[in-house]
Amino acid sequence: MIFHTFATMKLKAYQVAEIVSGNVEGNDQVLIDSLAKIENGKEGSLSFLGNPKYNKFINSSKSSIVIVNKSFVSDQNLTKTLIRVEDPNEAFSKLLDLFANQSSNRVGIDKTSLIDDSVSIGANVYVGSFSVCEKDSDIGENSKIYSQVFIGENVSLGSNTIIYPGVKIYSNSVIGNNCIIHSGTVIGSDGFGFNLDKDGNQLKVIHNGNVIIKDNVEIGANCTVDKATLGSTLIKEGVKIDNLVQVAHNVEIGESTVIAACVGIAGSTTIGKNCMIGGQAGISGHLKIGDRVMVQAQSGVMKNIPSDTTVMGMPAFNYLDYNKSYVHFKNLPKIMSKLNDLFKKTT
């Protein structure tokens, strides 16, 4: 068992400015070693102002450096160092990624893990305690597999991919490069399929397919992605999936689509690229959702949706029509009262 540890990252203001393409205002030699919310900042930390409602904390914050918008103007005399950028949120995200990569750069195989001799392991891989990897699987270089992960037979795991504790990856799954799968998620479980026999018994439909996850995909905690009955359940490049999402058998999700928490997608539905699906939405099976479709939260999609459409409601229909209809719906008690009064006067 071999592990490499790294010293805490320390950056001077001018170095931070180079990373985020910003301009230093103040002491460019100020040193930081951590990131913090502006209201909780301390000496040696860096914070940012991405929302004007937090501007009130800039004077009281003890953060050594604050990233602000180029147009930011304070009504107080500031002594702390500022770094001015085009977009503070984007700049801080770069630093979050930088610090996260530094803290997670572990290498080595824990002695309590169980890895079959036939498994191919790339350079600089980390496997945490009590993880299992079964025969004929492949782990790409620089990938990090944390504690209590199960990887079945003939699984392909790409390079620079992170698998957090407790993830279960069933046999024959394929996961690309630069992916992140969070704790508790199950990849490749059986789809939900049963047929009634002549006696009324539910007979299980055997699923012989797999799951393919392309590069740069992130899947949140406690999600399930079922394998296909035949062929593959497919999640394409750049898809981002929140926690507690169910992706059923033979579903296909297009490039760079974003899916919020508690969404359920039934079997054999195809979702296009660059879609946005709000939390708690449900999508029926065997549907075709076009590109750049927006499904508002808690909507129930029960028919095909063409590209460049926004829908809402249960069942979901055009967003603008829904809003117009809702105006009448919320006024329905008043309308009915007036109708009843009118009815009484005419009878």
- Residues catalogued as catalytic: 249
Phi first, then psi: what are they for 160, rounded to 5°? Answer: 60, 35
Quick one: tokens of 155? 């699984």
Quick one: tokens of 293? 């479709």
**Hey, what amino acid is at 194?**
F
Q: Are strands 31-32 and 11-12 parallel, antiparallel or unpaired?
A: antiparallel
223's CB contacts (< 8 A; 6+ apart) are 182, 185, 186, 241, 243, 244, 245, 246, 247
CB 259 within 8 A of CB 245: yes
Which value, to the nearest 10 degrees, does the dihedral of the CA atoms of residues 184, 188, 189, 190 take? 160
Place of tokens 């439909």: 205
